[in-house]
Amino acid sequence: MAKEDYYKLLGVERNASDADIKKHYRSLAMKFHPDRNKDNPQAAEVKFKQIKEAYEALSDAKKRSAYDQFGHAGVDGSMGGQGGGFTADSFSDVFGDVFGDIFGGGGRQRSGPQRGSDIRYNLELSLEEAVVGTESKLRVPVLVACKECDSTGAKKGTSPIICSTCHGHGQVRMQQGFFSVQQACPTCRGSGKQIKDPCTFCRGDGRVQETKTLSAKIPAGVDTGDRIRLAGEGEAGERGAPAGDLYVQIHVKDHPIFTRDGANLYCELPISFATACLGDEISVPTLNGRVLLKVPPETQTGKLFRLRGKGVKQVRGGAVGDMICKVNIETPVHLTKEQKALIEQLNISLTGGGKQHSPQESSWTDGVKSFFDKLTG
């Protein structure tokens, strides 16, 4: 049985933000919690597991990228919860997040400095750059480690001290009615340490805003929607914690001649009336230079010619697509009297003698006549 689309399961668009995905997940997880569906807990359990599986894929940047590119096949091998039993841990993420927000905490936050946030950078490429690959320079505004205090957040020459509220644990437990909720310490924000004398350069955050210049190697064959991960090039973590990643989101600009569908390229190929009738060898542009194409006599508008191996090299596998040229016969314009007279003579010659020189037109005319004969008969 085919799996349901993860985005549809969570009720979000494919371009939904991480915050929207999390919001919809929480709402649906609470709705289909088996304890809240006493009339049919088995069905609710199945739905809950589907929702949790979707969220696990879409809330992880790497898994989401794989799912966007390859669908369920891109994440099936990495989804640890598939086919497993239904445990209390399945609910803890939901309640930890929801009650953490209600009671002012951050859900199930880890103690200690948090890893830096991931960043998305939109990169626009020409079709030529996408097909052959390129190296792009990126200017990215990002939080980087403060060099003045070595990312500690403390004034130079001083050090952070143990937090007096959580005693260095980074977490405190709060009692709210029947619930006991563990959350990040509000004093030290989960770091377990307090800064008595903050760094004047970063104001105690351990990070400062800076524009970094990075070089990103773009492989041949990328397409709109592909993402390239630059590990550790995201925002710096809190007070020495690991940095996040930078995801380069690819967008390929429209091309004046070619359109792309996967590994294949398509183009309109205008030819003259004479070439269509008599045939000829014509020069055709490709992204690798011009090639000669033999157009046979009596070629009709709309005929497709396939130039094998003149398309796009696939990023995965290395196979190269084809270029498909669609013939478009141009009607002569700005004719002189002599040229018009010659065409009239040709028309008389073509319509006489009993031969069908325009089979499609004759077939269409016969079809129309038959249609009206049936109406009047």
Q: Output phi, psi for 265, to 5 deg.
A: -110, 145
Q: Give pLDDT, residue 355.
A: 55
The parent domain of residue 183 ranges over 119-252
Show pLDDT as tens, one digit a residue, over the chain (377 residues).
Answer: 567 889 999 999 988 888 889 889 988 988 888 777 878 878 888 888 899 899 988 988 888 887 887 677 767 655 544 444 444 444 444 554 544 444 444 444 455 567 889 999 999 999 999 999 999 999 999 999 999 998 888 998 888 899 888 888 888 887 766 667 788 888 887 778 888 899 999 888 889 999 999 999 999 999 999 999 999 999 998 878 899 999 999 999 999 999 999 899 999 999 999 999 999 999 999 988 899 999 999 999 999 999 999 999 888 888 899 999 999 999 999 999 999 999 899 888 887 655 555 556 556 556 666 656 666 65
| Structural element, H or E, at residue 251 | strand 246-252
Across-strand partners of 291? 284
What CATH number is associated with residue 320? 2.60.260.20
Q: Give pLDDT, residue 369.
A: 61
Per-residue CA distances from 107 to 118, 181, 239 (Å): 20, 8, 21
Q: Give pLDDT, residue 103.
A: 43
Residue 336 resides in a domain = no
Q: Give pLDDT, residue 107.
A: 45
Buried b (16+ CB within 10 A) or exposed e, 314-338: ebeeeebbbbbbebebeeeeeeeee
Same-domain check for residues 210 and 303: no
User: Going along 168-226, which residue ranges are E strands?
Assistant: 171-176, 179-184, 193-194, 207-218
The span from the CA of 74 to the CA of 77, in Å, is: 7
Q: Give pLDDT, residue 46.
A: 87
The span from the CA of 298 to the CA of 131, in Å, is: 34
Indicate the number of domains in the chain: 4
Query: What are 279's two structure tokens?
Result: 């045939």
| Structural element, H or E, at residue 367 | helix 359-376
State which of 252, 284, 316 marks the end of a domain: 252
Q: Give pLDDT, residue 5.
A: 87
State which of 194, 227, 252 marks the end of a domain: 252
Residue 108 resides in a domain = no
pTM: 0.59
Q: Give pLDDT, residue 314.
A: 87
